[in-house]
Structure 1
């Protein structure tokens, strides 16, 4: 009898965890697609296939959900960058990552792409908790870039990583902002050319 009760309890817990993951994934897409203010609990729960009323079984507040959402979005973006880096020889890793980041696919894929470029201008108006979660993922991205330099661990490598990430994110924001596809492509190709020419 105790064994059966434990199995039922484990199944309920696993179901709740799976539901929680669906909510966080839906919220991570929604914040990139619609921004923080455009992300409503009811829509997210519907996208996750759950009722609005079930929300508070998973989160204390909308803010708590946003913290997890921005962390998930950052983790997903960094995982893509890591997989690109792992797929090529070390000497080609940084170039490959930059090309994927500034690709047409990434420009068009705001819902599944880099949350920094999708949400950067909104961050100053968010809570400390949301900003802290985003900051940790930004630092992770900077470190991922820094590790591609031969002098990783030295101040110069960190500085080059800061410049590289800043240029990539800024370029992506501009490439998404304009309604001129030729200009969008030129922004990306010029940034890639500049980063390569200065030895970054």
Structure 2
């Protein structure tokens, strides 16, 4: 097999990072290098020519996830400044959707990487700045003017994580709906009373 050109090597690297970013959000950073190179169609040797370690790839995959816009991204709010409240509601509905629950690989990096960074202190230290900045930026973009962006982001991420953990049970969709209602209730602050199921 001939040598890979510099352009092809760069394209391979970008493909590995993008694939890893999806796989890590979907299955966690415990995904093996073997599974990753198989998904991309490279060899172990090809992987280690591109990355010094798997941890370096995790760092790049996290950065990639935060840098690339998704339908549920708070970045979209900036594009609709004139209709900010409508854009915010759409973002919340998309974020707290069954589709987003079921497609973690294409989903939000805040929820997608939270558990792994909490479990792996060494990786958390390496990727901490990227992740923290991503969390702060998303919270700031959600804020409605009274500094509540962090609480909104916590509600959205928490509901999504819980909905993924309970997928297959009616509770999963109840969690998504409860968070959507809490985040989009009317200006009066009143929302419809919830029926108890216990």
Task: Give TM-score scaled by structure 1 length.
Answer: 0.79
For residue 162 of structure 2, the aligned residue among 166, 174, 191 is 174
Instruction: Say how many residue pairs are matched.
Output: 180
After alignment, is 87-96 or 57-66 more displaced?
87-96
Aligned with 2:43 (options 19, 31, 51): 51
**Which secondary structure does the structure 2 equivalent of 1:81 belong to?**
coil
Pick aligned residue for 1:97 from 91, 94, 98? 91
Distance 1:175 1:197, change over 3 A: same
Q: Which of 115, 121, 125 is the equivalent residue of 1:121?
A: 115
Q: Secondary structure at the match of 2:41?
A: coil
Match of 2:153 in 1: 165
Match of 1:12 among 5, 19, 22: 5
1:129 deviates by 1.0
Gaps of 5+ in 2: 190-198
Aligned 8 A contact 2:72 2:95 in 1:
no
**Equivalent in 46, 49, 67 of residue 59 of structure 2:** 67
Q: In 2, distance between residues paired with 1:35 and 1:106?
A: 16
3-state DSSP of counterpart to 1:46? helix
Structure (1/2) with the larger helix percentage: 1
| RMSD, matched Cα | 2.4
- Please state whether the residue corresponding to 1:111 is helix, strand or coil: helix
Contact 2:70 2:107 in 1 (8 A): no
- 1:35 is aligned, of 28, 39, 42, to 28
Taking structure 2 as the reference length, the TM-score comes to: 0.80
Q: Which residue of 2 aligns with 1:196?
A: 184
Displaced runs of 4 or more, over 6 A: none
Distance (Å, rounded) in 2 between the aligned partners of 1:126 and 1:50: 29
Structure 2: how far apart are the matches of 1:118 and 1:20?
A: 21
